[in-house]
Amino acid sequence: MAAERIYWLAWSQVPGIGPVLIKRLQQQFGSLAIAWHAPANDLVQVEGLGRTSVEALAAKRQQIHPEAFFTEHLKTNPHFWTPADPEYPRLLLEIPNPPPVLYYRGTVCPSENQGFKPTVGIVGTREPTEYGKRWTRRLSRLLAQRGFTVVSGMAQGIDTEAHRGCLEAGGRTIAALGTGVDLVYPPRNRSLYDDILQQGLVVSEYPAGTQPNRIHFPQRNRIIAGWSRAILVMEAPTQSGALITAHVANDFGRDVYALPGRLDDPQSAGCLGLLSKGAQAIQNEGYLMEVLGAMPQLDVPEQLSLFATPESLPQATPDLSPELAKVFQALTLEPMGLDQIVEQLQIDTGEVLSALSQLELIDLVTGLPGLRYQRNPS
């Protein structure tokens, strides 16, 4: 895998070869290292590569020395994942155009990357109304309390409110940037950026030093959509970039929710348009938590080399007493409410709480705000 990640990085440097083609090359040859050395007659078999483009590709490829470039790149970009790495976010691997290289800063949560800790994207306008701000903070706080990770883009407006609400509730948040992970944009969000590094993750497919560019932000939006199980659009005018995220999320098979607004409010026009096209309305907090909580847990992936190392996957039940084992087996890697656990086990609430406390003491279970509990990754 170490050699393969060198070639994911190398292919990302070839002009005209984007994420879709790189994924096709990997699928065609089974290895990007093999694809790098493949003759033109083999490369033209890849969908999207014709004879002319292959000849241009070969000339550009000769100018890059993968191993030397990788070594030099690490000096300024020490932390990044490629799809060859077991830590690469599982949900992004499922989209047709995963970032060939994903740079990161902050605190990594393995269960987030493996897709077991649920992630919800929140997007919207940079110029929200007080109504939009209020509901964004309210819902992001609630999501954090229920054990969800909030994904957004750290732009001013709705993004900022989403990150802030989540952090205030003690939750984790992921910020996908359209710049390098070493830059803060907008600059006014410096304190927010610093807080996210302590309590979440900042990611980007652009290397350190990359400045803001308007063409980067639609690409950034697909990371938000791809790494989220569902997308909430809080407020958006008809030309908002948040609508791009919503449409991409729909293409990826993610659920899209929109906050209803006034008919005469331009900042809600985009949300109303989404609702007319089949997005689900955010009716109230209880409804949203119910539908998001009903999302099925992801199965353990078969391709461990691409998603997770065996050591990081859930293991068999440890050596526990029958009482503790029964409660432990009822838990999952996603948060569960105490009432849900009691109903499932048909055991007295006091006995369940006692067992949960003991499981927490031996670091098998984590207690979350709102009397919710989840199994710790082994």
What's the CATH code of the domain at 61? 1.10.150.20
Residue whose C-alpha is closest to residue 230's, from 171, 360, 143: 143
The answer as to whether 93 is a domain residue is no
What's the domain range around 281? Answer: 104-293
pLDDT number for residue 318: 60
The answer as to whether 97 is a domain residue is no
Residue type, 101: V
Instruction: List beta partners, residue 174.
Output: 151, 201
One domain for residues 168 and 261: yes
Instruction: List beta partners, residue 280.
Output: 257
Query: Which pLDDT tens digit goes with each residue over 87-112?
Result: 999 999 999 999 999 999 999 999 89
99-113, 158-172, 232-246, 301-315: least confidently modelled range:
301-315
**Pairwise CA distance, residues 203 & 153, whole Å:** 10
Q: What percent of the chain shows pLDDT beyond 70?
A: 94
Residues 276, 234, 161: CA angle, nearest 5 degrees: 175
**Pairwise CA distance, residues 48 & 180, whole Å:** 29
pLDDT number for residue 188: 97
Query: Which pLDDT tens digit goes with each residue over 354-365?
Result: 888 888 878 788
Query: Which pLDDT tens digit goes with each residue over 127-170?
Result: 999 999 999 999 999 999 999 999 999 999 999 999 999 999 99
| Cα dihedral across residues 47, 53, 59, 64: positive or negative | negative
Token output for 49: 């590569």
The answer as to whether 94 is a domain residue is no
Do 88 and 82 touch, CB atoms closer than 8 A? Answer: yes
Helix (H), strand (E), coil (C) string for 225-287: HHCCCEEEECCCCCCCHHHHHHHHHHHCCCEEEECCCCCCCHHHHHHHHHHHCCCEECCCHHH
Work out how many domains the chain is built from and give that number. Answer: 3
The answer as to whether 95 is a domain residue is no
**Pairwise CA distance, residues 145 & 143, whole Å:** 5
What's the CATH code of the domain at 339? 1.10.10.10
Q: How sure is the predictor about 303, in pLDDT bands with cuts at 50, 70 and 90?
A: very low
